[in-house]
């Protein structure tokens, strides 16, 4: 993999990660979709990362990154500033490994997210009125208190951890020809593409994002990392930029991702609804994009496919409203199916 500094990031690291995370993240089931085959005319399998102990795949990357820290780093502890699944993952893995985890969050982050992280054993430090101010505090703790920052996607150990999903998929179903992957910062798709293509070069890796704030897609089109406006979306776990100084995931996506598909909010709504009512699975918007893309006819399959159902941590009121077919309001935007 010349493109990604092959010595620093290669499939061997994903294989090693699999053993490192085994006590923390679970090997998730790959189950047949109950409803997509009628649309796709091909078998479709669902990789249920919703069943991880924190309800999302991010535990794989965090567990691997933390397990690779040295003794001094472990003793001083780790810090991150994610409001979402990465914050939960770091808190959970740190507690398991006997480390202290601090999650820096702004005063705007709702109380439910704070208590979720605290319940997993993380220490929440509330500072400022924005994510940027929280990041400034995290940077200070790195500088002055010697904590190690654990980034949500742009780190080789995080990427290798997420790549373990591909090893499990191809072990269960070596005949999979396409993997549909929710795409935000690109740690998930980068790790999956790296591992899957090393084992099966002919496999197709398709990234799926929402139209409202698809930072990786905009960067790929421009040829370098660019910023996009962050907007409210049902797929909130796919929000945020890729970092203007991106080191790993932009190149991985540029070199290994075959196609990127963008979705409307109403398509994501329908994906969540079908997951709930027909697959009988609770999935957050970010995790419903594979269903949404296939149902909208935006990805054509010519063989068996796997969808990464990446997480389940949507607000329950949102899931229930979508199940009942009611419109959902997101920062002034009304979404329905």
Ligand X SMILES: *Cc1c(COP(=O)(O)O)cnc(C)c1O
**Contact residues: ligand X, CB under 6 A:** 56, 58, 84-85, 153, 182-189, 237-238, 284, 286-287, 310-311
CB of 58 to ligand X, least distance (A): 5
Residue with smaller CB distance to ligand X, 77 or 239: 239
CB of 234 to ligand X, least distance (A): 12
Please count the other Cβ atoms lying within 10 Å of the Cβ belonging to residue 227. 12
Q: Which is nearer to ligand X, 42 or 228 (CB)?
A: 228
Q: Shortest gap between Cβ of 187 and ligand X (angstroms)?
A: 3
> Whose CB is nearest to ligand X?
311
What ranges in the chain are assigned the alpha helix state H?
Answer: 11-21, 37-40, 58-67, 71-76, 85-96, 111-119, 131-145, 156-172, 187-199, 215-222, 249-256, 265-274, 289-295, 316-323
Could you tell me the sign of the dihedral formed by the alpha carbons of 155, 194, 211, 29, in that order?
negative
Calculate ∠ Cα 152-153-154, nearest 5°: 120
Q: Are 322 and 292 in contact (CB under 8 A)?
A: no
Q: How far is the CB of 55 from ligand X (least distance, A)?
A: 8
The smaller minimum CB distance to ligand X, of residues 202 and 260, is found at 260
Closest contact distance (angstroms) between CB of 283 and ligand X is 8
Complex with ligand X: residue 233 or 310, whichever CB lies closer: 310
Rg over CA atoms, the chain:
19
Q: Within its chain, how far is the Cα of 75 from the centroid?
A: 28
User: Considering the complex, what minimum distance in angstroms separates the CB of residue 183 from ligand X?
Assistant: 5
User: Is the Cβ of residue 18 or residue 60 nearer to ligand X in the bound state?
Assistant: 60
3-class SS shares of the chain: helix, strand, coil, % to 5: 45, 15, 40
Residue indicated by tokens 């893309």: 293
Of residues 274 and 289, the one with the C-beta less far from ligand X: 289
């Amino acid at each position: 993999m010349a493109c990604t500094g092959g010595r620093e990031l290669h499939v061997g690291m994903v294989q090693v990660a699999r053993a490192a995370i085994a006590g923390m993240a679970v090997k998730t089931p790959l189950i047949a979709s109950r409803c997509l085959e009628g649309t796709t005319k091909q078998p479709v399998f669902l990789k249920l990362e919703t069943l991880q102990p924190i309800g999302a795949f991010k535990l794989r990357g965090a567990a691997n990154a933390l397990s690779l820290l040295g003794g001094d780093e472990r003793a001083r502890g780790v810090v991150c500033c994610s409001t979402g699944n990465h914050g939960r993952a770091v808190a959970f893995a740190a507690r398991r490994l006997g480390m202290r985890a601090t999650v820096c969050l702004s005063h705007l982050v709702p109380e439910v997210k704070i208590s979720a992280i605290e319940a997993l054993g993380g220490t929440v430090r509330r500072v400022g009125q924005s994510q940027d101010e929280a990041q400034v505090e995290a940077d200070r703790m790195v500088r002055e208190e010697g904590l190690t920052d654990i980034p949500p996607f742009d780190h080789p150990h995080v990427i290798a951890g997420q790549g373990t999903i591909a090893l499990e998929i191809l072990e269960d179903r070596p005949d999979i020809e396409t993997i549909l992957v929710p795409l935000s910062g690109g740690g998930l798709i980068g790790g999956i593409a790296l591992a899957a293509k090393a084992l099966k070069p002919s496999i197709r890796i398709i990234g799926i994002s929402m139209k409202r704030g698809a930072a990786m897609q905009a960067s790929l089109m421009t040829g370098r990392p660019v910023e996009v406006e962050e907007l409210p979306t049902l797929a909130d776990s796919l929000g945020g930029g890729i970092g203007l100084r991106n080191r790993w995931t932009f190149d991985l996506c540029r070199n290994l991702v075959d196609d990127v598909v963008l979705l409307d909010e109403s398509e994501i709504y329908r994906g969540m609804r079908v997951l709930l009512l027909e697959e009988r699975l609770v999935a957050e918007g970010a995790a419903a994009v594979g269903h949404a893309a296939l149902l909208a006819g935006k990805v054509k399959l010519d063989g068996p496919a796997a969808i990464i159902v990446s997480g389940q941590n949507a607000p329950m009121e949102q899931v229930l409203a979508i199940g009942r077919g009611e419109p959902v309001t997101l920062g002034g935007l009304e979404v329905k199916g």
